[in-house]
Amino acid sequence: MAKGPFLADLMLMKLGRWLRLAGEDVANPEGCIEDADLIVKARVEGRVLLTRDKALLARCKKGGADCLLILSSDLDDQLAQMVDLGLDLRLDPQRCTLCNAPLEKGGDRWICTGCGKAYWQGSHWVGIDERMARIRDRI
């Protein structure tokens, strides 16, 4: 079951950004230098670590942290795997795609409460929505 909150490792930062676009809480691995740091962060914050590293998966299990092994290096395949595991992949901006802080709605835009980045519904929005729909339809 793909149920957050999540913690993306360095190799999966892009997947993390897309999951945030779908409203998921996905922490960045900032400050985590060793695998052990990631495992502690996942355990302390109650997050599921997303990784493509089988050795890290094994270390997570030993260290008592939840971990989900992402099988593909392709973003669409990665998202399809998450959908297959129960993720509701729909554009639902609640988190900053960069820093994961909550967004605040103001007029026709959203402002990140962490880094101040502004989001609004532009033409790229339609592209994201369509790509998500295509991935959902694959399952």
Tell me the closest approach of the beta carbon of residue 29 to Zn ion, in angstroms. 16
96 is a contact residue toward Zn ion (CB under 5 A): yes
Does 103 participate in binding Zn ion (rule CB under 5 A)? no
Stretch that binds Zn ion, among 62-70, 85-93, 109-117, 124-132 (CB under 5 A): 109-117
Question: In whole angstroms, how large is the CA radius of gyration of the chain?
Answer: 15
Determine, following the binding rule CB under 5 A, whether residue 115 of this chain makes contact with Zn ion. yes
Residue that is written with structure tokens 């532009």 in the block: 122
48 close to 82: Cβ distance less than 8 angstroms: no
| Range list of H helices, the chain | 13-21, 35-45, 54-63, 75-84, 123-138
**Residue range at the interface with Zn ion (CB under 5 A); choices 4-12, 78-86, 107-115, 124-132:** 107-115
Residue 7 in the binding site for Zn ion (CB under 5 A): no
Task: Pick the stretch among 20-28, 62-70, 73-81, 108-116 that binds Zn ion (CB under 5 A).
Answer: 108-116
Ramachandran class of 135: left when φ > 0, alpha when ψ lies in -120 to 50, beta otherwise: alpha
Closest CB to Zn ion among residues 85, 115: 115
